[in-house]
Structure 1
Amino acid sequence: MKFISSIQNPEVRQIEHWNRKSRNRRRDGVFVLEGLRELQLALSGGYQPEKLYFCPEILDESVLNDILGLEDCSRASLSPDVYGHLAYRGKTEGVIALMRTGDHRLQNLIWKRKNPLILVAEAPEKPGNIGALLRTADAAGLDAVLIADLKGDLYNPNIIRSSVGCLFTVPVAIGDSAEILDFLKTSDFQVLGAALGASIPYHKADYTRATAIVVGTEATGLTSVWKEGADQLIEIPMGGVIDSMNVSVAAAILIFEGLRQRGFPG
Structure 2
Amino acid sequence: MKEISSTQNSYIKQLVQLKDKSRDRKKSGKFLIEGQREISLALKGQYTIDTLLYCNDFTDSTHIETLTSANTEIIQVSKDVYQKLAYRDTTEGVIGIAQSKTLDLSDLTFDKPNPLILIAEAPEKPGNIGALLRTADAANVDAFIIANPKTDLYNPNIIRSSVGCVFTNQVASGSTQDIITFLKSKNINIFCAALQASKPYHTQDFTTATALIVGTEATGLSEDWRNQATQNIIIPMQGEIDSMNVSVAAGILVFEAKRQRQFA
TM-score range, shorter chain: over 0.9
Using structure 2 for the length normalisation, give the TM-score.
0.96
Change (3 A) 1:207 1:71: closer
Q: Which amino acid aligns with 1:223?
A: S
Q: How many residues align?
A: 264
TM-superposed CA distance for 1:9, in Å, is 1.2
Please tell me whether the aligned partners of residues 215 and 251 of structure 1 are also in contact (alpha carbons under 8 angstroms): yes
SS, match of residue 242 in structure 2: coil
**Residue 10, structure 1, aligned to residue 10, structure 2:** yes
Instruction: Identify the residue that residue 32 of structure 2 maps to in structure 1.
Output: 32
Greater mean alpha carbon deviation, residues 237-246 or residues 206-215? 237-246
What CA distance in whole angstroms lies between the structure 1 residues aligned with 2:224 and 2:171?
21
Instruction: Give percent identity, aligned residues only.
Output: 54
In structure 2, list runs of 5 or more residues that go unmatched. none
TM-superposed CA distance for 1:5, in Å, is 1.3
SS, match of residue 248 in structure 1: helix
Instruction: Identify the residue that residue 195 of structure 1 maps to in structure 2.
Output: 194
Please tell me whether the aligned partners of residues 104 and 173 of structure 2 are also in contact (alpha carbons under 8 angstroms): yes
SS, match of residue 42 in structure 2: helix
Write out per-residue CA displacement over residues 137-194 of structure 1, whole angstroms, 9 at most, x where no aligned residue: 0000000001110011111111101100000000001110000001001101010000
Matches within 5 A, 1:127-138: 127-138=126-137
What CA distance in whole angstroms lies between the structure 2 residues aligned with 1:60 and 1:72?
21
Instruction: Identify the residue that residue 55 of structure 1 maps to in structure 2.
Output: 55
Instruction: Identify the residue that residue 234 of structure 1 maps to in structure 2.
Output: 233
Matches within 5 A, 1:112-261: 112-261=111-260
Using structure 1 for the length normalisation, give the TM-score.
0.96
Please tell me whether the aligned partners of residues 41 and 164 of structure 2 are also in contact (alpha carbons under 8 angstroms): yes
Q: Which amino acid aligns with 1:44?
A: K
Matches within 5 A, 1:82-97: 82-97=81-96
What CA distance in whole angstroms lies between the structure 2 residues aligned with 1:152 and 1:131?
12
Please tell me whether the aligned partners of residues 198 and 235 of structure 1 are also in contact (alpha carbons under 8 angstroms): no
TM-superposed CA distance for 1:69, in Å, is 4.8
Q: Which amino acid aligns with 1:19?
A: K
Greater mean alpha carbon deviation, residues 249-258 or residues 82-91? 82-91
